[in-house]
Structure 1
Amino acid sequence: MKLVRLKITDTKGFRSLQPGFEHHFRTAWELETESQEAQGFAPFVCAGPNGSGKSNLLEALVAIFFQLEVLRGRRILPETFLFDEATNPKGFQDGDGIPNGFELEYLIQVPDEFCSSASPDFAHVKIVKKLDQSPNISWINQEYFEFDELGEISERERDFLLPQYVLGYSSGENEILSLPFFKMRFVQFDEYWHALSNQLPYSGRPETRLAFLDSGFSQAILLCNLLFQDTDALKPFRDDVGIDALKEFRIIIRRNIEIKESQIPAFGSQDESKGETIEEIVKNHPALSIKEAETETEAKRYQVNLLELLEGDERSVGIIPRLKRCATCFYVDETADTLYLDYYVNEATKQAFNENFDFEVNQSPIALFQALQVLLTLNLFPVSETLKADLYQSDSLYVGETVPILASDERMMRFKNFWLKKTGVKEPVLLKSLSDGEHQLLHSLGLCLLFKNTNSLFLLDEPETHFNPDWRSSFITRLHQCFKDADDSHEMFITTHTPFLISDSKPEKVLVFKKMDGVVEVKNPEYNTLGASINKITMTTFGKRETISGHAQAILEELRSRFEGGEDKEKLITEINRQLGDSVEKVLLIKTILDSMEAHG
């Protein structure tokens, strides 16, 4: 995937991006060059002051693909999402969307079956949303591909003209970026709940393509990589964090949750003429049961087996049987109604996961990740329909604060006893014992390894905030290692405040953001950034001319004032050397004092 152009035509703009904001990510000449020469992995690095619009660009891209995903997956959208004049007047309907007007162009690879020897390498896609209208997808160069007839884009074509995944990651609490992903996560839960309550087939993986891989998924990402990737692919994990291998881990899964009597009719027959009673619905539905009363006077309590669609006999392809087949051992705590799966990891364990989670639809390790994604999404079960409806309609930056966070033992699925073998450490270490920077590195590089062979859009918001300077300086190198064997089918945007990422990027891949009088402007640097010094980048791109910190600069300026006030020069030089470490600013001040001493004899 290669982004070409984005324009915001919404008369209200989008966040800090003003109406008419437009940026060309690649010129015609750059596209021609990329088509003739292998470029390798090269992310767009977005830099600039705080509040200059960097994250808003990423959010705009997410918001656009969220709208397209809503249209693509309309059949799985819950009633609380969709418009209904009587019951949900604020719900989604055709033409809705923020931004309410945009133009987006990009190139994307096409399946071989539609290509001939004369076909270009990429399809040219243009998506236009006019005010209060649904986005329209155009295939600009369709005539150069193999089709029986040209014309309106089919559902099959729409699928491959959109990125395979849109993946978001933020090292902080950036709900601006995460909001569309957050909504789609609830759509995924409602998709499963609808299938469960109506006893419909369920694929065992999310149907939606948007995934915000926050800290809640970090263990799943690391697990999938350590079980499936080869030694060479895991080199970044070893070089920086010292992770040699996965030793053991436990997966804990609850089966039943209590539900209210008012929720039970949703599990009944769609034929209202049958007039089923609560007792009949519970009796007829395989996932429902009456919870054993603790006292004789206690009112009836009901529960639903939330895993019912994921279970099956020992040979089935359900998620739970597959996880059991890979486990070293497992048992059910009947009192807690909880399944415990323990894994002591060796080559046989890895082989078992390869045999049980390697399918044509989603090549491993993504198949395992999506299975874990389904289970982790079930942790959203306490959220009420009212709260979900509010969330679906919200554009609030604080929506995440309204969603309850479950205590560990109340979750449907969780990891525990995640032990790693680490270089230079005799005993295994718990994953939780790693530092914030180590977690962040494993997480950000892990999601790249996991999805490296997919036609995806990666959006990483300040992924290096907890890194030490050495890790920051080598982050682009580590990303290159992750993608070294991957094809040229993905696109990545990284926002940053560190000059190291810029120094490892060509100027056409660096987007410098400035905001003046409410107008966001994006330009490429006017100097060669690749290999440029940190001082050069700090001064030119970030506007920081001093090479020392603010407090030290204040001390130096105070010493300069004392020199200009006539204090003893030799004593000042001694004090400068005593107080301040080596820097260009210190050398220049001392030189000024020495020149003054020489001039005055």
Structure 2
Amino acid sequence: MKLKRVHIISTNSCDGLLKGLDVRFPDRSSDFDPICLVGPNGSGKSQFLQATAEIFQSILHHLDQGAERDELNQTCQFEVEYSVYCKKQKKVMDVFVGRKMKGRSLTWDFKINSKGHYEIISGEYLVEFQLYPSAIIGYTSGGNETLSAPFYVSRAAYAEAVRQAAFDNKYMTKEVQDGRLIYIDHDTHQEAFVANLLGNSISQLRPFLKLTNFADLLSFRIIVQLAHGAAPGARSKNSKRKGVQLTMELEAVLDYLQSCSTCYLYEEETESYTFDFLVSDATREGIDLYWQGGANDVFSTFHKLSMLNDLILKRASRNKYLSNIKNGSYAAKLPRPSEDDFVFRIEGIKLKSKQKKLSGDYIALSDGEHQRAQIFSMFNILRGENILFLLDEPESHFNPKWRVEFIRALRELMPKKKIYQDCILTTHSPFVPSDMKKENVFVFRKDKGILKVTHPENQTYGARFDRILEDCFEINPPISTAAFNEIDKLMKSGSAKEIEVALEYIANSVERAHLIHRLTKLKSEVVN
């Protein structure tokens, strides 16, 4: 899919900052052609990602409650336009979806662009032809409690659906569909990393491994614990489980993991499973047998199990947090259980080094290496049509060289066969915009408390970083404040001797040239 327009008519989230915002995106080809949001802290970039996720969550919840069982923002009014690849008709179609207040109730409008103009259709038509995102992927490099909110609502709804299905004979044997909103954070990044290295073929991994310092996955451990001290105590009449109740689908997953593991341990008292994997050709053959959809299927299974970690939290705490965020309050963070209490976790990941006979721990990677592994694994797994990525500062921990290479690296990960996806990312660095045309770059600024979104004045693609710093971040000159203030003071009142001393340690720049000119002028005045 490709976003074409997001109009936020009104919303009770984001403190009203985005109310009335209408952003139109340029027409883009089927190639990987992301949108970049820049601007100072607090200017609304992350909130825009959150609002976009909320809008599509509401659309999915309205059209297919099996895909999204709940929505964070039940009163948001919006208009959104996007293009989506229709598999049934084998073509790209333009879609309009709106939700507005008419009288005292919210009403929905659905349209498709036919022969140059929009025609009204039903929501059932969108469902029949799957004319909406197949997945919304969220990522943040920090503790962004706003962006995570709609994704948490989706995750909590899935965990509750599994719990209810496990207690119901009618649904226990059926697969519980996971939500379309998927969030990659500190607790879930290992799922994507292992699924990528375990479920992808050598040819699919080659571009990914080219961007890393390791050669392959060596070993890892999966722990599933269902009746430990933190687990809920309610028991189903249909199951012998003492703690967390599983559907038949998830019970089968435990059998698959046991079959593929090198060795395993089961502790009956706590219903805990420890699966150790020493990755070999036999391991990969087992993975291919049970997860025939490859890395995407492996990741989906890991993600389903990890969403059960929400069941460890007390229901009162979960309900209070959900109530708060649905009312637009982010004052308190969701209580996070100890990793030792998780229903599902992956640990002990060891990597094979590109240097022979050496191995290393995944946990020992630097912050930048972790972030690279997370982002690139995510893109290397999620290769389906109509996926929307919402990435909040995905290169914040990169060194400058990696930041310069970031967009090129993402493009190299894209499969040769074009896929119709979209990506909106935020950044505080000038490196990312330099790889994009200015039509794809949106500058967020507040003017007297009012949010304004514009394009940079000058072309950004291939531009010097100092030009982008000036156009997008209002930094001019592009040097630190302390150095600038010292130079400014010398320009205004410095003696010739003071300037000569300072020139010994001031780097080459336009400002240094001005100081030299000032020094020459002072010396000529002495002579005269």
State whether TM-score is above 0.5: yes
Judging changes above 3 Å, is the alpha-carbon distance between structure 1 residues 555 and 426 closer, same or farther for their aligned structure 2 residues? farther
- Paired with 2:451 and 2:232, the residues of 1 have a C-alpha distance of 53
The residue that corresponds to 2:198 in the other structure is 227
- Paired with 2:128 and 2:521, the residues of 1 have a C-alpha distance of 72
- Paired with 1:70 and 1:547, the residues of 2 have a C-alpha distance of 47
Name the structure with the higher strand share: 2
- Give 1:334 shift: 3.5
Residue 248 of structure 2: which of 302, 309, 334 is its match? 309
Residue 264 of structure 2: which of 330, 339, 351 is its match? 330
Judging changes above 3 Å, is the alpha-carbon distance between structure 1 residues 203 and 511 closer, same or farther for their aligned structure 2 residues? farther
Residue 377 of structure 1: which of 303, 307, 312 is its match? 307
Residue 526 of structure 1: which of 449, 457, 480 is its match? 457
- Paired with 2:128 and 2:53, the residues of 1 have a C-alpha distance of 17
The residue that corresponds to 2:113 in the other structure is 141
2:317 pairs with 1:387 = yes
2:28 pairs with 1:57 = no
Q: Which runs of 5+ in 1 are unaligned?
A: 82-91, 116-120, 145-149, 268-283, 289-302, 313-317
- Give 1:386 shift: 2.9
Residues matched between the structures, number? 520
Give the partner amino acid of 1:48: G
Q: What secondary structure sits across from 1:285 in the alignment?
A: coil
The residue that corresponds to 1:581 in the other structure is 507
- Paired with 2:452 and 2:244, the residues of 1 have a C-alpha distance of 53
> What's the CA shift string for 1:524-549, capped at 9, x where partnerless?
22321110000111112111002221
Q: What secondary structure sits across from 2:61 in the alignment?
A: helix
- Give 1:230 shift: 3.9
- Paired with 2:313 and 2:110, the residues of 1 have a C-alpha distance of 38
Residue 85 of structure 2: which of 81, 85, 109 is its match? 109
Q: What secondary structure sits across from 1:340 in the alignment?
A: strand
The residue that corresponds to 1:498 in the other structure is 429
- Give 1:562 shift: 3.9
1:52-91 matches, within 5 Å, as 52-74=43-65
- Paired with 1:203 and 1:500, the residues of 2 have a C-alpha distance of 48
> What's the CA shift string for 1:163-211, capped at 9, x where partnerless?
0000100001111111010111100101110111113245556431011
- Give 1:304 shift: 3.0
- Paired with 2:373 and 2:106, the residues of 1 have a C-alpha distance of 39
> What's the CA shift string for 1:501-531, capped at 9, x where partnerless?
0000011111111210222111222321110
- Give 1:416 shift: 2.2
Judging changes above 3 Å, is the alpha-carbon distance between structure 1 residues 111 and 590 closer, same or farther for their aligned structure 2 residues? same
Q: What secondary structure sits across from 2:425 in the alignment?
A: strand
2:189 pairs with 1:218 = yes
- Paired with 1:136 and 1:324, the residues of 2 have a C-alpha distance of 48
2:20 pairs with 1:20 = yes
Give the partner amino acid of 1:101: Q
Q: What secondary structure sits across from 1:192 in the alignment?
A: helix
1:355-434 matches, within 5 Å, as 355-358=289-292, 363-395=293-325, 396=328, 398=330, 401-406=333-338, 408-424=339-355, 426-434=357-365
Give the partner amino acid of 1:162: Y
The residue that corresponds to 1:319 in the other structure is 253
- Give 1:473 shift: 0.8
Contact 2:392 2:425 in 1 (8 A): yes
Contact 2:86 2:129 in 1 (8 A): no
- Paired with 2:32 and 2:68, the residues of 1 have a C-alpha distance of 36
Q: What secondary structure sits across from 1:241 in the alignment?
A: coil
The residue that corresponds to 2:10 in the other structure is 10
- Give 1:224 shift: 1.1
- Give 1:232 shift: 5.0
- Paired with 1:371 and 1:560, the residues of 2 have a C-alpha distance of 64
Q: What secondary structure sits across from 1:154 in the alignment?
A: helix
- Paired with 1:151 and 1:62, the residues of 2 have a C-alpha distance of 23
Contact 1:330 1:339 in 2 (8 A): yes
Q: What secondary structure sits across from 1:138 in the alignment?
A: strand
Q: Which runs of 5+ in 2 are unaligned?
A: none
Question: Which moved further from structure 2: 324-333 or 8-17?
Answer: 8-17
Judging changes above 3 Å, is the alpha-carbon distance between structure 1 residues 260 and 48 closer, same or farther for their aligned structure 2 residues? closer
- Paired with 2:280 and 2:508, the residues of 1 have a C-alpha distance of 52
Q: What secondary structure sits across from 2:374 in the alignment?
A: helix
Contact 2:312 2:342 in 1 (8 A): no
The residue that corresponds to 1:481 in the other structure is 412
Q: What secondary structure sits across from 1:106 in the alignment?
A: strand
> What's the CA shift string for 1:424-457, capped at 9, x where partnerless?
4753111111111111111112111111333111
Judging changes above 3 Å, is the alpha-carbon distance between structure 1 residues 14 and 171 closer, same or farther for their aligned structure 2 residues? closer
Contact 1:226 1:245 in 2 (8 A): yes
Contact 2:8 2:18 in 1 (8 A): yes
Residue 146 of structure 2: which of 176, 190, 210 is its match? 176
- Give 1:333 shift: 3.0
Judging changes above 3 Å, is the alpha-carbon distance between structure 1 residues 188 and 143 closer, same or farther for their aligned structure 2 residues? farther
Contact 2:30 2:420 in 1 (8 A): no
Let me know the Cα RMSD of the aligned residues. Answer: 2.9
Judging changes above 3 Å, is the alpha-carbon distance between structure 1 residues 76 and 16 closer, same or farther for their aligned structure 2 residues? closer
Contact 1:106 1:126 in 2 (8 A): yes
2:467 pairs with 1:551 = no
Judging changes above 3 Å, is the alpha-carbon distance between structure 1 residues 196 and 531 closer, same or farther for their aligned structure 2 residues? same
Over alpha carbons, which structure has the higher Rg? 1
The residue that corresponds to 1:87 in the other structure is none
The residue that corresponds to 2:440 in the other structure is 509
- Paired with 1:456 and 1:536, the residues of 2 have a C-alpha distance of 33
- Paired with 1:598 and 1:237, the residues of 2 have a C-alpha distance of 61
- Give 1:329 shift: 2.1
Contact 2:35 2:441 in 1 (8 A): yes
Contact 2:500 2:519 in 1 (8 A): no
- Give 1:22 shift: 1.0
- Paired with 1:397 and 1:486, the residues of 2 have a C-alpha distance of 43
Matched-pair identity in %: 27
Q: TM-score, normalised by structure 2?
A: 0.90
- Give 1:399 shift: 6.7
Q: What secondary structure sits across from 2:461 in the alignment?
A: coil
Judging changes above 3 Å, is the alpha-carbon distance between structure 1 residues 241 and 552 closer, same or farther for their aligned structure 2 residues? farther
